[in-house]
Structure 1
Amino acid sequence: MGLLLLEALGALLVLVLIVWWTMFSGRRGGERSGPDEDPPAPPPA
Protein backbone atom coordinates (compact mmCIF):
# COMPACT_ATOMS: atom_id res chain seq x y z
CA MET A 1 0.00 0.00 0.00
CA GLY A 2 2.81 2.39 0.85
CA LEU A 3 4.52 1.70 -2.46
CA LEU A 4 1.31 2.55 -4.32
CA LEU A 5 1.01 5.88 -2.48
CA LEU A 6 4.65 6.65 -3.16
CA GLU A 7 4.17 5.95 -6.86
CA ALA A 8 1.06 8.15 -6.98
CA LEU A 9 2.95 10.95 -5.23
CA GLY A 10 5.77 10.62 -7.76
CA ALA A 11 3.33 10.79 -10.68
CA LEU A 12 1.69 13.88 -9.15
CA LEU A 13 5.10 15.50 -8.73
CA VAL A 14 5.96 14.81 -12.38
CA LEU A 15 2.63 16.31 -13.47
CA VAL A 16 3.19 19.44 -11.38
CA LEU A 17 6.70 19.84 -12.79
CA ILE A 18 5.44 19.51 -16.37
CA VAL A 19 2.73 22.12 -15.77
CA TRP A 20 5.19 24.47 -14.06
CA TRP A 21 7.70 24.05 -16.88
CA THR A 22 5.16 24.81 -19.60
CA MET A 23 3.73 27.82 -17.77
CA PHE A 24 6.95 29.57 -16.79
CA SER A 25 9.49 28.64 -19.46
CA GLY A 26 10.01 30.93 -22.41
CA ARG A 27 10.95 34.58 -22.82
CA ARG A 28 11.91 36.52 -19.72
CA GLY A 29 9.61 39.43 -20.56
CA GLY A 30 6.75 37.28 -21.77
CA GLU A 31 5.44 37.07 -25.29
CA ARG A 32 6.02 39.98 -27.63
CA SER A 33 2.89 41.83 -28.65
CA GLY A 34 2.55 42.24 -32.39
CA PRO A 35 0.93 45.14 -34.24
CA ASP A 36 -2.40 43.28 -34.37
CA GLU A 37 -2.48 42.82 -30.61
CA ASP A 38 -2.40 46.50 -29.61
CA PRO A 39 -5.56 47.65 -27.82
CA PRO A 40 -7.88 49.77 -29.98
CA ALA A 41 -7.81 53.53 -29.57
CA PRO A 42 -10.73 55.03 -27.62
CA PRO A 43 -13.39 56.72 -29.75
CA PRO A 44 -13.17 60.52 -29.99
CA ALA A 45 -15.42 62.34 -27.56
Structure 2
Amino acid sequence: MSKKKCVQCGKETEKWTLRQGKPFCSQACVKKYGEKHGSKKSDVCEFC
Protein backbone atom coordinates (compact mmCIF):
# COMPACT_ATOMS: atom_id res chain seq x y z
CA MET A 1 0.00 0.00 0.00
CA SER A 2 1.23 3.48 -0.78
CA LYS A 3 1.46 6.20 1.84
CA LYS A 4 -1.46 8.55 2.26
CA LYS A 5 -1.84 11.67 4.36
CA CYS A 6 -4.44 11.57 7.13
CA VAL A 7 -7.08 14.28 6.50
CA GLN A 8 -7.45 14.87 10.25
CA CYS A 9 -3.87 15.12 11.60
CA GLY A 10 -1.77 15.23 8.41
CA LYS A 11 0.36 12.21 9.34
CA GLU A 12 1.61 10.16 6.41
CA THR A 13 1.18 6.43 6.87
CA GLU A 14 0.88 3.19 4.95
CA LYS A 15 -1.69 1.83 7.41
CA TRP A 16 -4.47 4.22 6.43
CA THR A 17 -8.17 3.43 6.23
CA LEU A 18 -10.66 5.03 3.90
CA ARG A 19 -13.88 6.57 5.24
CA GLN A 20 -16.20 8.44 2.87
CA GLY A 21 -13.36 8.49 0.36
CA LYS A 22 -10.95 10.21 2.77
CA PRO A 23 -7.80 8.62 4.21
CA PHE A 24 -7.37 8.43 8.00
CA CYS A 25 -4.41 7.08 9.95
CA SER A 26 -6.43 5.81 12.95
CA GLN A 27 -9.92 5.30 14.35
CA ALA A 28 -9.25 8.17 16.77
CA CYS A 29 -8.75 10.54 13.84
CA VAL A 30 -11.90 9.26 12.15
CA LYS A 31 -13.83 10.03 15.32
CA LYS A 32 -12.24 13.47 15.79
CA TYR A 33 -12.96 14.36 12.16
CA GLY A 34 -16.59 13.32 12.57
CA GLU A 35 -16.99 15.40 15.73
CA LYS A 36 -15.22 18.41 14.20
CA HIS A 37 -17.47 18.38 11.15
CA GLY A 38 -20.65 17.82 13.13
CA SER A 39 -21.60 14.58 11.45
CA LYS A 40 -23.17 11.66 13.24
CA LYS A 41 -20.51 9.13 14.27
CA SER A 42 -22.19 6.48 12.12
CA ASP A 43 -21.83 8.72 9.05
CA VAL A 44 -18.07 8.57 9.27
CA CYS A 45 -17.15 5.42 11.16
CA GLU A 46 -18.94 2.12 11.55
CA PHE A 47 -16.71 1.10 14.49
CA CYS A 48 -17.13 4.05 16.89
TM-score normalized by the length of structure 2: 0.28
TM-score normalized by the length of structure 1: 0.29
Q: Which has the higher strand share?
A: 2
Q: Which has the higher helix share?
A: 1
